[in-house]
Structure 1
Amino acid sequence: MVRKKGSLLLMLCASLLLTSSCDGRQPISPESSKKQAQVLSLAERQQVAEKLHPDMVRAQNRFGLRLHEELAKTAKPGGNTLLSPYSIFTALALAYQGSGGNTAEEMARMLGIETIGKEQANASVRTLYTLLGDAGSGVRLNSANSVWYSRGMEIKDSFILTAKDSYHADVQAVDFTEKGTVKKINDWVSRHTRGKIPGVLDQAPTPDTLAILLNTVYFNGAWQSPFDPKDTQDGKFTLGDQTTKQVPMMRRSGMFEYKQTPEAQAIRLPYGDGRLNMLIVLPAGGHSLADVMNTIRKAPSIWQARFDHASGEIRLPRFKAESSLELREALIALGMKQAFDPAAADFTAMSGAKPLFVSSVLHKMVLDVNEEGTEAAAVTEMAMAGSAPPAGRFEMNVDHPFFFCIEDGQTGLWLFMGTVENPA
């Protein structure tokens, strides 16, 4: 008797709303954000953060940079490459919990958690969920997971318990052949991204789909110091091929965390009460975005360290961007091979169904940046030794391709990252 192959589909949606006005909503007030999660004091938050395995954040950030590098190799010339390392890592970590043998070893190495182990990884996921759920006033940050499996499929109680306990996942048995299942899954995505990503499925999954793992991340906040729309003026943005586009450029002056090296300028823009922030790294004259990305990949800790404060002016494009990516080939290139191989994949810690393998990994992200902004980060430490503070007042004109990331100031976790080559 020939048994039908069973495929596992991972879908990842990251909605990063860097404006609170584009959808008609009012800016988030401190009162409204406090209703979303328990508010922790800085001391309480530090106690929770101390439970986080020290290698977990480092692994996620490095994984994000490696994945971005692979995706950039096949990206359309001049296109933007956007992703949420946190979203992708979390969904893969959940799948890793269901893996065994060489499949588990490959996934652990690719994620950079081979020395951490499944239990420590689960504990760190729970800790991050608590910390990110308390993003501070003026900020809304929500992450959600779900497991959808075919009715009649044997799914192990231990995996369901882990999914619910460590990943706070919704677990549902469904019939993937029913017309209403696609709508149900897409509605779940839309609800958890506040409608910014209306869905991930254009049609019913393939007949051999036995399970779908979903992760969504939604962020909406307000700049700690908003840009004044009156100061926004059209300006030239020079693309990688040296052609130019007219884009609306926002402008703001003040005191910022700022760093300058021969290769680049870097700045942090805080949001809300300062627990999250946007880091922007702009290549200096004579250096390409590829040069700067190589520098960041080789020594990410330089850019994760706190910068000195300096007085200056920032000019930043107002723009919207989105990406829809199939991550299969990039993940294989990073070393996750057996999970995609029907003949070799081992997901026996999830189910006794054989063969069970990952068929595809889909990732969608929406980015929207304007004057009212969204996000926040703590500024507590000194700049890293060896980085000379800028002399006098600086000017940073983000008028050519740049790297950005959205980070949690306390843990250093990069929730979202990307390279923007064409804001138009």
Structure 2
Amino acid sequence: MGVAAIPPAASSLSPSGWARAESSQLLLPPLPPGRGCVLCRHQSGILALASLQQGQRSHQQLTGNHPCRKQFSRMDCLCEANTSFALDLWKKLSENDSRKNLFYSPISISSALAMVFLGAQGDTAAQMVQALQLHKAKDVHPGFQSLISEINKPDTKYLLRIANRLFGEKSYSFNTGFLDSCNKFYLSELEQVDFQQEYEAARGQINSWVEGKTDGKIQNLLGQGTLDSLTKLVLVNAIYFKGNWADQFKKDLTKEMPFRINKNQTKPVQMMFRNGKYPMTHIGEQQIKIIELPYEDKELSMIVMLPDEINDDSTGLEKMLWWNHCPKKNYGKLERELTYEKFADWTNPEMMNTKEVELFLPRFKLEESYDLKPFLTSLGMHDAFDMGKSDLSGMSDRNDLVLSKVVHKAFVDVSEEGTEAAAATAAVMKFRCASVPRVMADHPFLFFIRHNKTRNILFCGRFCSP
């Protein structure tokens, strides 16, 4: 995000054969006379969630005012807020075209926007609370602080890192309290640059930082013309994930097979195969299989949601739901009806049985870029982008900053070794895992990379076409 001029910032990582990360950036242009500053920010991140049960057990074992209990309580609430926002954004990104590939890091976007929220006041702050679902969280910034600490945990068999950086105009005065809070909660230090005279050089400096944090997977995050002499601040968030599957696919079993884009059209894809035991379930009324593919250490997992079949010219993801046999109230497309409650229930370990299955999964890479401004405004975040209404006075006493742009870029590479990424209800409980000996992901599916302990989604994706 950017304040006081139009800056960009964001980055992600992603190497091949792993789950990758995303990046997003927010830009703020200068306001009219008397309010002339712009803030720009960029972020990238990866989400990976696995065992929901582990975090719940830890929470249940803690009592009273134990500091760890407070930490898990904060992260539980933040998980609900982040997941709700992730799915709200998913629906907005899918409105114009539900048949295209999709990949982004909601944790990257929400953490970058949370830094902007640090400096928001009045209606601007209230609208951000609603758009980001932060009313479901308590102690938002300490919650992100705990989450970042968990994500950056050392001595793991996978590589998962999240980083933040402020790039500020060297001649502009930012509130010390804002800078201190960014550093305290988001480990984001201020790096002074010369946007006024050397904004193109500053753009190169920011892009280099992003590229370095994402192991070269996110390049040229800020395109030419993104920044200008009015740019005052660029907030950057980069998240990178690289991990091997707990049980890898054998490369010699990967073969070319047809991937059914819809009932009448196919494209060739390199299809991986493995016969092994995986947690999975089948949601009968929705006719979807859900399977969990853990990474090494089982602290991160990929969750795949696969429709049973394609029945028409659609992708199969437009399948109609029939919740509680009440079509008038709850009738809609699978993705439109996906909520935090349903996602939590469907992926709950108690809903899954570990079964031996024949798993067919495409080897694929996705790289997606988004200008998130129209999607955020459609979620109700209007004033932050409005020169006449923006109130980011927490960043500067001059109150002359406005958000101009939010850019996000993400990359994922799924292969035999693993993944690299630089970017509901009680009624369901009865749909226990049916006997499904084969999972054939040869048609469009949804996938999520989840961090098990905190249950936060690091990355969201939809694979519709090779």
**Could you state the TM-score of these two structures normalised by the residue count of structure 2?**
0.78
Worse overlay, 49-58 or 126-135: 49-58
Alignment of 1:15-414 (within 5 A): 15-17=13-15, 19=17, 47=68, 50=72, 52-75=74-97, 78-114=99-135, 116=137, 120-134=139-153, 137-176=156-195, 177-178=197-198, 179-203=200-224, 205-240=227-262, 242-262=264-284, 263-286=287-310, 288-290=316-318, 291-297=333-339, 299-306=342-349, 307-374=352-419, 385-391=429-435, 394-414=437-457
- Counterpart residue type for residue 344 of structure 2: S
- Counterpart residue type for residue 355 of structure 1: D
Aligned residue among 1, 4, 22 for 1:6: 4
- Quickly say closer, same or farther: Cα 1:231–1:293, change in 2 above 3 A: same
Q: Is the 8 A contact 2:106 2:459 kept in 1?
A: yes
- Quickly say closer, same or farther: Cα 1:343–1:284, change in 2 above 3 A: same
| 1:32-67 deviations in Å (ceiling 9; x for gaps) | xxxxxxxxxx97999475253432101101101110
* Counterpart-to-counterpart distance in 2, 1:86 and 1:390: 33
Q: Is the 8 A contact 1:96 1:104 kept in 2?
A: yes
Q: Is the 8 A contact 2:18 2:414 kept in 1?
A: no
- Quickly say closer, same or farther: Cα 1:162–1:278, change in 2 above 3 A: same
| 1:136-192 deviations in Å (ceiling 9; x for gaps) | 632100101111111221200001001111000131121123142122111100110
- Counterpart residue type for residue 187 of structure 1: S
Aligned length: 389
| 1:74-104 deviations in Å (ceiling 9; x for gaps) | 34x6421111000000000010001001000
- Give the match's secondary structure for 1:59: helix
- Counterpart residue type for residue 221 of structure 2: V
In the TM superposition, residue 350 of structure 1 has moved relative to its aligned partner by 0.6
- Quickly say closer, same or farther: Cα 1:280–1:373, change in 2 above 3 A: same
- Counterpart residue type for residue 115 of structure 2: L
| 1:338-377 deviations in Å (ceiling 9; x for gaps) | 00001100000011234311100000001101100138xx
Unaligned runs of 5+ in 2: 21-56, 63-67, 319-332, 421-427
In the TM superposition, residue 198 of structure 1 has moved relative to its aligned partner by 2.0
- Quickly say closer, same or farther: Cα 1:367–1:280, change in 2 above 3 A: same
In the TM superposition, residue 322 of structure 1 has moved relative to its aligned partner by 0.5
Q: Is the 8 A contact 2:16 2:365 kept in 1?
A: no
Q: Is the 8 A contact 2:447 2:462 kept in 1?
A: yes
Cα-Cα RMSD = 2.5
**Could you state the TM-score of these two structures normalised by the residue count of structure 1?**
0.86
Select the structure with the greater relative contact order (CA < 8 A; seq sep ≥ 6).
2
Corresponding position of 1:35: none
- Give the match's secondary structure for 1:348: coil
Q: Is the 8 A contact 1:406 1:414 kept in 2?
A: yes
Corresponding position of 1:37: none
* Counterpart-to-counterpart distance in 2, 1:10 and 1:336: 19
- Give the match's secondary structure for 2:369: strand
In the TM superposition, residue 21 of structure 1 has moved relative to its aligned partner by 12
- Give the match's secondary structure for 1:164: helix
| 1:205-232 deviations in Å (ceiling 9; x for gaps) | 0232211111111000111100000110
Q: Is the 8 A contact 2:19 2:242 kept in 1?
A: no
- Give the match's secondary structure for 2:403: strand
In the TM superposition, residue 308 of structure 1 has moved relative to its aligned partner by 1.5
Q: Is the 8 A contact 1:68 1:83 kept in 2?
A: no
Q: Is the 8 A contact 1:110 1:336 kept in 2?
A: yes
In the TM superposition, residue 276 of structure 1 has moved relative to its aligned partner by 0.3
Q: Is the 8 A contact 2:8 2:222 kept in 1?
A: no
* Counterpart-to-counterpart distance in 2, 1:328 and 1:269: 33
- Give the match's secondary structure for 1:7: coil
Corresponding position of 1:33: none
* Counterpart-to-counterpart distance in 1, 2:81 and 2:19: 35
In the TM superposition, residue 7 of structure 1 has moved relative to its aligned partner by 3.5
* Counterpart-to-counterpart distance in 1, 2:14 and 2:80: 22
Unaligned runs of 5+ in 1: 23-41, 376-383
Q: Is the 8 A contact 1:339 1:346 kept in 2?
A: yes
* Counterpart-to-counterpart distance in 1, 2:304 and 2:462: 10
- Quickly say closer, same or farther: Cα 1:43–1:110, change in 2 above 3 A: closer
Q: Is the 8 A contact 2:14 2:218 kept in 1?
A: no
- Quickly say closer, same or farther: Cα 1:201–1:389, change in 2 above 3 A: closer
Worse overlay, 170-179 or 411-420: 170-179
- Counterpart residue type for residue 360 of structure 1: K
- Counterpart residue type for residue 13 of structure 1: S
- Counterpart residue type for residue 302 of structure 1: D
- Quickly say closer, same or farther: Cα 1:230–1:21, change in 2 above 3 A: farther
